[in-house]
Structure 1
Amino acid sequence: MVAKKLTLDTFELGACYYPEQWPEELWADDFRRMKELNFSVIRVAEFAWTIFEPTEGSFQFDLFDRAIDLAHHFGLKVILGTPTATPPVWLTHRYPEVLNVSNEGVTYHHGMRRHYNYSSPIYRSLCARITREMAMHYHNHPAVIGWQIDNELNCEINVFYAEVDHIAFRRWLIEIYKDLTKLNLAWGAVFWNQSYTSWDQVHLTRPSVSDSPNPHQALDEKRFISDNTISFAKLQADILREVAPLQWVTTNGIFGHLDSHKMTNDLLDFISYDSYPLFATTETSSDLNPLQDRKWGLNLSMVRAISAQFCVMEQQSGPGGWVNRIELPSPRPGQMRLWTYQSIAHGADMLLYFRWRTATMGTEIYWHGINDYHNLPNRRVEEVARVGRELASVGKLIVRTSFKADIAIVKDYDNEWDGELDTWHGPMEKKSLVAWYKSLQYRHIPVDILTYRIETTLEDLLQYKTLVYPHPTIMTDECARLFEDYVSQGGTVIFGCRTGYKNIHGHCNMAAFPGPVAELCGITVEDFTLIKGIYKAPPIKWRDQDNIKATHADMFNDIIRVQSPTVEIVAEYAAEYYAGKPALTKNSFGQGFAWYYGAAFNESVVGEIIKSLKLKPPIEAICDVPWQVEVAIRESKESSFIFLLNYSDQAETLFFKQKVYDILNERWLTGEVEIIAFDVIIIKLERQP
């Protein structure tokens, strides 16, 4: 499956800019200073509907014409946002049916953003009209290079319960199931007497005496929200393709209840992302060595799973917060630059800082930009200036190179959405995902995220030597056969507990766990238990070790029964009524191996598995790197670029085993080298033919 990706010949650096929020006499000076920072692109207009259409059906372009013309005069390219994330007051006042409604029936009124629903026919019509008017006006403008649809689809809220949403849900269900008999079967409606006899009885989930709705209905609700969101975006994308075919189309962010792969593949040229690593530093954790802002690489890996090369439409450039939500501290000196290269290391070929200058009014007066309110020089401007100089030199070398990894963590939308309601597997997915990502990060083993979808091919899997699919509770026979083929051809797959016991509707299979992959794994699950309260996570005894190590089987325990002589027991439970039973197995299947672990993964268990797999950092022969420094590799047919990113607030020591060239600092390195706090080194290596 060929993914959509950004294709550039040189790196594009810029900022989000809001000319409607600033006196016009500031514009020229702003654009001049942007060019001095080596900026080449700005994003505008995603919240400016009233500027373009101050009253219904009356369109004005003067303000943005002047701003875009002036940007072009200074040599800046422009990305235009369709302004549909914030409908005008005249629109919501005249057409209140466009407003979103909570599950309890409370209407979300005007005053913030994203307070509309995707289903309203009049809202869709008005969005189509403003998109068409803007596209017709700017499709030939020499500065405009592309369009961002809306802004952060499904951000802030990703559930919709207006009356028009219930109607749209019914239409969607009719298209999917055709008749009520199939719907009743899919939703298990015979249980608790929920069977429907007329389509007008069917709704999205609604409040009832329990906070646990029909799980199959809830899963379909999320699938509907995703399809409905995509259809809303398609309305605009189709117009832009028709009217402005020479300008690319994207949208920004990956948020809940949205199949971003389908949206990108069907509608966009590439995906864009909004990167705010400081969010990861605000999480409370008892972890001695938390990932903090380094964890943002996991988010960027998920973006890269959609577009190998992508745009960061908003890169954090200062402290963050809203008027009533002071959330994020100031980046420390060097962190803005570090995060910029974090985004680039993970696949960004275009990056815009949010924002050029901090707003002086409105909800985001504490969401800081590069420039402060006073518009005087500050350390953030100086830091961005350094990035601009560096990327002017090395950016053209890095674009179009691809992130290199031999291992991938597998995710899928159905299990993500089902796990929101089903707390027997949802929290395990999060724990296991972070445990694998962190364990690989600290061992300097680059990792991808691979999202399994119906369109996923064997070739997609065979890009990787090892795949980790932590808890695919919902698993189809087709998915199982694909992984059988992958393992047969030499791949290694690792599953965790609760694998394969649900079908596509979320029904539990009347088959031994792990269902469709039982034969692949060579085992069945004879018993299981939640680890909670008086039930403590049992220690694990590894078969190749004499003593019980400090590894425990967390959260949930599948007690495994070996069914095939090709299975090797790697570890056993060492306590509880199932002491001595297998906890981790490895089955030889074709030319490869299928592992099954009966619990949620933690770092100590993952560390032992990595050791058993003999996974090594790809830079082992080049340099020794402390755990505080991330290693990421982007490569082309000709060259490899090794990114060394120091997330520590202390200097760290690298040791180079061979002479290498640092393209950022234009110097040769060998032996012991200090990398200061939050610093970045990029090594260029010529690849052997």
Structure 2
Amino acid sequence: MIHDVLNEKEITLGVCYYPEHWPKDLWESDFQRMKELGFTYVRMGEFAWTIFEPEEGIYDFTLFDEAIEVAKKYDLKVIMGTPTATPPVWVTEKYPEVLNVSQSGVQFKHGARRHYNYNSEKYQELSANIVNQMAAHFKDHPTVVGWQIDNELNCEINVFYSDADHHQFRQWVKRKYQTLDQLNDAWGTVFWNQTYTSWEQVYLTQPTVNDSHNPHQALDEKRFFSDSAIAFAKLQADVIRSHTNTQWITTNGMFKHLDNHQLTQNVLDFYAYDSYPNFNKIIPDDSKKPLQDRKWSFNLSNVRSFGGNFAIFEQQAGPGGWVNRIEQPTPKPGQLRLWTYQSIAHGADQILYFRWRTATKGSEIYWHGINDYHNQRNRRIDEIDQVSHEIKKIGSSLVGSSYQAKAAIVIDYQNEWDGEVDRWYGDFIDQSQEAWFKAFQYQHIPVDLLNIEQAKTVEDLNGYQVLIYPHAAILTKETANLFSEYVKQGGTAIFGCRTGYKDLTGQTYMMKHPGYLADLTGSTVEEYTLISPLQERPTVSLFHGDPVTTEGFNEVLSLEDSDVEMIGSFDNAYYRGKPAATKRKFGQGYAYYFGGVFSYDIAEQMLQDLHIQRSDALSLPEKVEIAIRVKENRTFYILLNFASSDQLITIHQKMVNIVKEQVLRGDYIMKAYDVLVLESQ
């Protein structure tokens, strides 16, 4: 558990700070005010390579030594970042081979960040050198308690096509397939005469006519990108651990083409996430009942799936935007507190706000921190001060408590990566996941995300009453057997269209869809069609309810066993009256199959049939999210009001508001953006 790694007995707060950006005569006041705000941690150093190493092989830690001493004076613990996200100019000028290259062959130049590639042997050497020097220097410093590796791996760019990447991909492919025959078979190179006759012919995907790449090669490419990032992180972690076993190691982010579950398990002591809910307040969303900043709870649930409770290394503290894209409004009164508790509700045991003061120079002068340019007290500081005082009261109760959910949305990297090329189902994954997440949110049913690649036995699934796996095109026989055993033992599994017809290479099985799941669902796909934007949208009626419009894709189903129930049919189109959804009792549980893309309305209708066990302790309006965290024999209900208006809730049994130490029962008004932390009695 993260609180054991941190050796903390309560939830702790902190802030990101860049001493190299500010005159030294500000440091004393800055750190003193951090302490007065109740902060425990300060994070620094991740963009300061030239400060640490102004010339190759010449190291200078003076500036950070002085800053850390001031932090020590105010009993602040320092998290040191390795500075490899922004290589110095002297590196990129002297060793241009460290730079990343676009797929079309354009080399990126110095001037932004994340412009390096993971596989350059020279960059690995230079990175190991600076990390080695930093770890040796700070290993015994009592104020430096942990390390952040790099910063936001795969942010800004998550594809890599330098000469070093092509070379290492070739070696990666050799290790995986051993022979060219096996490679050609896995990539289906007999199609379009792509057969390789020597290893030297193998590259990452390159520019092609109509940007059409071999899909099986493209899938392996994503796996390679992920392995490269993890290896780069491990390189640094190994160097740090060669010097110390008392300072913990993490990294921050959650970006594409990176298996964060594997990264957490193989490299890190725990995972840290950067939480900016305001992103979803500015993205146009014409779907039914948009989640907006509440959608960030989905991201936090994903982070929780990496390894349990986690840290937040950048919690939004103001409006956001870069010089070329100022884009986010100032958080409204109450929203910073709401977003902080949103992180806590979903598993954060440590939260650092980004950043202490808004930058006055560079690309992020509009990415605001706690303090504005004028450096005077503001409304946001007052709000964070309130949160800090509350956490001091309740943080020891909540720390280490576990999020409780009886349902899970199943995710995996193979379909996410394959779906980037195969948009026949790739575009549907996010739609259906969000539809189900909305349905659970608005029905006040806590939900997890479960990475099926981490589930090795049925015991890993049995804690859930319901599993939703919307569009798993890639699905192995082993995974199908796992779901069958889960359902047989009493679980409920729900699948959507485009399920179970591909193997791990991305090639299709020569069997009826949904492949190895057909024995479980008792239904197969008779025919399927993409829904053209120009055609009338087919509708489907589930459980004899109102017709619901379907979007994207339809599968006409065939019932293969007498015990399969048709729970929905298509109402129009040429397949009118044909089965659209099925339900089958299998052992002690049920398997559902829907031949389409899930919408909120469809997910909500199916949810009514599932009878998921839920808490009857509270009655809540839609705009209020509930999270349940349990610690030993104590149960906590964290209620988050995402509405800009007051919301009436009803508490059906005696509970204690642990922030205000008051007993509550009956009706209660939650103010706009308010938070309530209740403990059952």
Give TM-score, length-normalised by structure 1. 0.97
| 1:565 counterpart letter in structure 2 | S
Write the distance in 2 (CA, Å) between the matches of 1:563 and 1:39. Answer: 62
Task: For residue 668 of structure 1, report the CA deviation from its aligned partner.
Answer: 1.8
1:155 aligns with 2:155: yes
Tell me if structure 2 keeps the 8 A contact 1:624–1:654: yes
Write the distance in 1 (CA, Å) between the matches of 2:285 and 2:22. Answer: 41
Q: Judging changes above 3 Å, is the alpha-carbon distance between structure 1 residues 110 and 2 closer, same or farther for their aligned structure 2 residues?
A: closer
- 1:571 pairs, out of 534, 546, 568, with 568
2:352 match: secondary structure: strand
Tell me if structure 2 keeps the 8 A contact 1:6–1:311: no
Report 1:199-210 matches (<5 A). Answer: 199-210=199-210
Residue deviations 1:424-455 (CA, integer Å, cap 9, x gap) = 00111011000000011011100000011165
Partner of 1:665: 660
Task: For residue 286 of structure 1, report the CA deviation from its aligned partner.
Answer: 1.8
Moved more, 191-200 or 455-464: 455-464
State the number of aligned residues. Answer: 681
Partner of 1:443: 443
1:47 aligns with 2:42: no
2:473 match: secondary structure: coil
Partner of 2:492: 492
Task: For residue 505 of structure 1, report the CA deviation from its aligned partner.
Answer: 0.3
1:649 aligns with 2:644: yes
Partner of 1:504: 504
Tell me if structure 2 keeps the 8 A contact 1:6–1:309: no
Moved more, 573-582 or 91-100: 573-582
Partner of 1:678: 673
Task: For residue 553 of structure 1, report the CA deviation from its aligned partner.
Answer: 2.6
Write the distance in 1 (CA, Å) between the matches of 2:496 and 2:535. Answer: 19
Matched residues, percent identical?
53
Tell me if structure 1 keeps the 8 A contact 2:2–2:309: no
Moved more, 176-185 or 586-595: 586-595
Report 1:180-199 matches (<5 A). Answer: 180-199=180-199
Partner of 1:375: 375
1:580 aligns with 2:600: no
Task: For residue 666 of structure 1, report the CA deviation from its aligned partner.
Answer: 2.3
Write the distance in 2 (CA, Å) between the matches of 1:636 and 1:659. Answer: 19
Q: Judging changes above 3 Å, is the alpha-carbon distance between structure 1 residues 116 and 62 closer, same or farther for their aligned structure 2 residues?
A: same
1:614 aligns with 2:611: yes
Write the distance in 2 (CA, Å) between the matches of 1:410 and 1:86. Answer: 35
CA-based RMSD: 1.5
1:653 match: secondary structure: strand
Tell me if structure 1 keeps the 8 A contact 2:643–2:673: yes
Task: For residue 535 of structure 1, report the CA deviation from its aligned partner.
Answer: 3.1
Residue deviations 1:10-69 (CA, integer Å, cap 9, x gap) = 111000001111111111111111111110001010001011001000011111111111
Write the distance in 1 (CA, Å) between the matches of 2:6 and 2:21. Answer: 30
Partner of 1:638: 633
Q: Judging changes above 3 Å, is the alpha-carbon distance between structure 1 residues 605 and 6 closer, same or farther for their aligned structure 2 residues?
A: farther
Q: Judging changes above 3 Å, is the alpha-carbon distance between structure 1 residues 460 and 8 closer, same or farther for their aligned structure 2 residues?
A: farther
Partner of 2:596: 599
Report 1:57-136 matches (<5 A). Answer: 57-136=57-136
Write the distance in 2 (CA, Å) between the matches of 1:463 and 1:3. Answer: 24
| 1:520 counterpart letter in structure 2 | L
Report 1:290-301 matches (<5 A). Answer: 290-301=290-301
Task: For residue 565 of structure 1, report the CA deviation from its aligned partner.
Answer: 1.8
Tell me if structure 1 keeps the 8 A contact 2:265–2:307: no
Residue deviations 1:388-422 (CA, integer Å, cap 9, x gap) = 10101111110100000000000100000011111
Write the distance in 2 (CA, Å) between the matches of 1:208 and 1:98. Answer: 25
Write the distance in 2 (CA, Å) between the matches of 1:466 and 1:609. Answer: 12
Write the distance in 2 (CA, Å) between the matches of 1:469 and 1:2. Answer: 29
Partner of 1:222: 222
Partner of 1:522: 522
Write the distance in 1 (CA, Å) between the matches of 2:139 and 2:521. Answer: 55
2:242 match: secondary structure: helix
Partner of 2:407: 407
Partner of 1:433: 433
Task: For residue 562 of structure 1, report the CA deviation from its aligned partner.
Answer: 0.6
Report 1:111-510 matches (<5 A). Answer: 111-453=111-453, 456-510=456-510
Q: Which runs of 5+ in 1 are unaligned?
A: none
Tell me if structure 2 keeps the 8 A contact 1:6–1:307: no
Give TM-score, length-normalised by structure 2. 0.98
Write the distance in 1 (CA, Å) between the matches of 2:21 and 2:65. Answer: 15
Q: Judging changes above 3 Å, is the alpha-carbon distance between structure 1 residues 145 and 97 closer, same or farther for their aligned structure 2 residues?
A: same
| 1:633 counterpart letter in structure 2 | I
| 1:631 counterpart letter in structure 2 | I
Tell me if structure 2 keeps the 8 A contact 1:4–1:306: no
Tell me if structure 1 keeps the 8 A contact 2:3–2:9: no
Write the distance in 2 (CA, Å) between the matches of 1:352 and 1:4. Answer: 18
Task: For residue 6 of structure 1, report the CA deviation from its aligned partner.
Answer: 6.7
Write the distance in 1 (CA, Å) between the matches of 2:251 and 2:295. Answer: 23
Q: Judging changes above 3 Å, is the alpha-carbon distance between structure 1 residues 261 and 45 closer, same or farther for their aligned structure 2 residues?
A: same
Q: Which runs of 5+ in 2 are unaligned?
A: none
1:472 match: secondary structure: coil
Write the distance in 2 (CA, Å) between the matches of 1:5 and 1:35. Answer: 22
| 1:92 counterpart letter in structure 2 | T
Write the distance in 1 (CA, Å) between the matches of 2:294 and 2:212. Answer: 35
Partner of 2:622: 627
Q: Judging changes above 3 Å, is the alpha-carbon distance between structure 1 residues 370 and 441 closer, same or farther for their aligned structure 2 residues?
A: same
2:389 match: secondary structure: helix
